[in-house]
Chain A
Amino acid sequence: MSKPNKHLLPDSVGRRFDKSERDQIREVWDISGSLEDSVTPGETERALSDLHLRLEMTGEMKSKPEIVIGWLHKHSRLLVAAIALITLTSLFFLVPKTVVVSYGEMATVELPDGTTIEMNSGSSIRYNRFYQFTNRTVELNGEAYFSVVSHGHPFIVETNGATVEVTGTRFNVRSWNDEPENGVVVTVAEGEVYFYPGLLSENPVILHTGETSHWNRGETQPSSPKMVEMEEITAWRDLRFVFREQTLASILRDLERRYDVAIELEAEQAASTTLTAYYSQQVSLESVLNDICAVKGLRYTQTTNGYRIFK
């Protein structure tokens, strides 16, 4: 009796003792009730799973197998259909939900808990169908702005080897798997965010409002927080561009995604050079290309599915 049990002294027993003895009897009854069980809760659980196993093996239906078999024969087609249906439904639930935003488009996704994800062109997210019930984990490739609603489970973004963990807050994640050299960049618009590589949650970088940090594969910790102009980071949400010391290769990828075109760069040595440009409003692709070529001393020409940039 690990916890003192409540079984009372039966009256018919109590009555058999003199008044003078009753207090002592009650004491004896109480002490006996506090004796330890020789069987631990762990042993009970093990025994219960043994029992389950045994019931599975002997087959609980053993008492009337002929009925089951008869039913099987009669309804075999029904059974096949039922099994197929069950398999399909379980597959459906196992396959995560995926949202892909095409090139040239933008999208906002609202998750069941009210969290919204604004997704830049060409981005994709993936999450479990039991999102909110088991955990709140979202996989991201690309760039997105998260407005997370507080909830029982922490909200987690897994992206190209990095993890961002929050409770309720707004933040931007830029993480393209076709631009591994740029790694993962997390910027917080409001609240607090934990940012760490993979599963190394014990040593996170903690970011507060207005701070940014980046991480590249192979590094043990993301860079220490740095203040940044939030407006520049989230310009994409207004279909604007702000390039701050961004490589030409990466800028051209942004343009390809935004305008859904293919841009070939034939001047390879220019690919890794950087550029800073600020557009306060939406612009056409050609005006951006004009600016780039003017600064870098390049030219461009239209192709069947996009543009070619050359020296």
Chain B
Amino acid sequence: MNLKTDEHIAKLAVRIRRSDRKAFDELFRMFYPGLVRFAQSYTRDKATAYDVVQDAFVNLWQRREQIDGKLSLKSYIFTSVKNHSLNAIRKKSTITLDSDLTDDQPDENNIIPFEETSQNDLRELFSEWIRQLPDRQREAFELSRFDGLDHEEIADVMNVSPKTVNNHIVLALRTLKDCYQQYKENRKNHDE
């Protein structure tokens, strides 16, 4: 996505491999919010998401000497968080994995109907629309939009082909666009 950031992360990876704690901290600060959000989409609760991200970073530090400079550190850490999340769910076994594997077709019922909202609530509305996206679409979209992973990296994390990733993101954006358009039309009617 962003070449400058990618280069920077590659440099961080080299430094972390040499046990540079500052680089490690920087990586943590950079990705922590995104990783918690990502973990939470699996674990469904914030406390477990926190633990899972901590585990992933402890793991990364302990295996820092094995960091492969050719592979993306981003997809490595996201994949690691995903695996830790799935393990956490299995241990708890309170939540089934089904939600993670649902079909990708947008579900019209999920779209929130127009409500009276101020411009300030638009962001909240967007968050809600994103939450309502089918899981795989949402995952691909968030990794791309929020975390800046490229298609190859997302493909690694999600274990699908880059082409599928692209499809997910396109479908997600189409749904969001439809919601937004509907919102704008309703608003116009309401104003008139």
* Interface residue from A10, A13, A36, A55 paired with B58 (Cβ < 8 Å): A55
Number of A interface residues, CB 8 Å?
Answer: 36
CB-CB nearest in chain B for A46: B50
In the complex, identify which listed stretch (B26-34, B92-100, B104-112) lies at the interface while the others stay far away: B26-34
- Closest CB in chain B relative to A35 CB, distance in Å: 6
Inter-subunit contact A10/B1 (CB<8 Å): yes
In the bound complex, residues from chain B placing their C-beta under 8 Å from that of A1 are 146
In the bound complex, residues from chain A placing their C-beta under 8 Å from that of B174 are 17
Tell me, yes or no, whether A269 is within 8 Å of chain B by CB.
Answer: no
- Closest CB in chain B relative to A111 CB, distance in Å: 32
Inter-subunit contact B53/A47 (CB<8 Å): yes
Q: Tell me the complex Cα distance, A1–B170, Å.
A: 21
Which chain A residues in 20-56 approach chain B with CB under 8 Å? 21, 24-25, 27-29, 31-39, 44, 47-48, 50-51, 54-55
- Closest CB in chain B relative to A92 CB, distance in Å: 26
Number of B interface residues, CB 8 Å?
Answer: 41
Inter-subunit contact B1/A8 (CB<8 Å): yes
* Interface residue from A10, A38, A63 paired with B151 (Cβ < 8 Å): A10
Inter-subunit contact A35/B144 (CB<8 Å): no
Tell me, yes or no, whether A77 is within 8 Å of chain B by CB.
Answer: no
Tell me, yes or no, whether A6 is within 8 Å of chain B by CB.
Answer: yes
User: Chain B interface secondary structure, helix, strand, loop or mixed?
Assistant: helix
Inter-subunit contact A38/B37 (CB<8 Å): yes
Tell me, yes or no, whether A16 is within 8 Å of chain B by CB.
Answer: yes
In the bound complex, residues from chain B placing their C-beta under 8 Å from that of A13 are 144, 166, 169-170, 173
In the complex, identify which listed stretch (B10-18, B80-88, B123-131) lies at the interface while the others stay far away: B123-131
Inter-subunit contact B62/A62 (CB<8 Å): yes
Tell me, yes or no, whether B57 is within 8 Å of chain A by CB.
Answer: yes
* Interface residue from A21, A29, A55 paired with B145 (Cβ < 8 Å): A29
Q: Tell me the complex Cα distance, A28–B151, Å.
A: 19
Q: Quick one: given A10-B144, A13-B166, A63-B62, are A31 and B2 in contact (CB under 8 Å)?
A: no
Inter-subunit contact B122/A51 (CB<8 Å): no
In the bound complex, residues from chain A placing their C-beta under 8 Å from that of B33 are 37-39, 44
Q: Tell me the complex Cα distance, A303–B165, Å.
A: 101
Tell me, yes or no, whether A150 is within 8 Å of chain B by CB.
Answer: no
Q: Tell me the complex Cα distance, A56–B28, Å.
A: 17
Q: Quick one: given A13-B170, A28-B173, A51-B28, are A60 and B62 in contact (CB under 8 Å)?
A: yes
Q: Tell me the complex Cα distance, A188–B169, Å.
A: 72
Q: Tell me the complex Cα distance, A54–B56, Å.
A: 12
In the bound complex, residues from chain A placing their C-beta under 8 Å from that of B2 are 6-8
Inter-subunit contact A24/B177 (CB<8 Å): yes
Q: Quick one: given A24-B180, A24-B181, are A51 and B123 in contact (CB under 8 Å)?
A: no
Tell me, yes or no, whether B176 is within 8 Å of chain A by CB.
Answer: yes
Q: Tell me the complex Cα distance, A10–B153, Å.
A: 13
CB-CB nearest in chain B for A7: B148
Q: Tell me the complex Cα distance, A29–B126, Å.
A: 10
Interface centre among B1, B2, B151, B173 (most CB of A within 10 A): B173
CB-CB nearest in chain B for A16: B170
Tell me, yes or no, whether A58 is within 8 Å of chain B by CB.
Answer: yes
Q: Quick one: given A24-B181, A60-B62, are A32 and B170 in contact (CB under 8 Å)?
A: no
Tell me, yes or no, whether A305 is within 8 Å of chain B by CB.
Answer: no
- Closest CB in chain A relative to B90 CB, distance in Å: 22
Q: Tell me the complex Cα distance, A38–B61, Å.
A: 25
Tell me, yes or no, whether B68 is within 8 Å of chain A by CB.
Answer: no
Q: Tell me the complex Cα distance, A50–B25, Å.
A: 12
Tell me, yes or no, whether B54 is within 8 Å of chain A by CB.
Answer: yes
Question: What residues of chain A have their CB less than 8 Å away from a CB belonging to chain B?
Answer: 1, 5-8, 10, 12-13, 16-17, 21, 24-25, 27-29, 31-39, 44, 47-48, 50-51, 54-55, 58, 60, 62-63
22 pairs, A vs B, C-beta closer than 8 Å: A8-B1, A10-B150, A10-B151, A10-B166, A13-B173, A16-B166, A16-B170, A17-B173, A28-B177, A28-B180, A32-B145, A35-B146, A38-B36, A38-B37, A44-B29, A47-B28, A47-B50, A48-B28, A48-B29, A50-B54, A60-B62, A63-B62
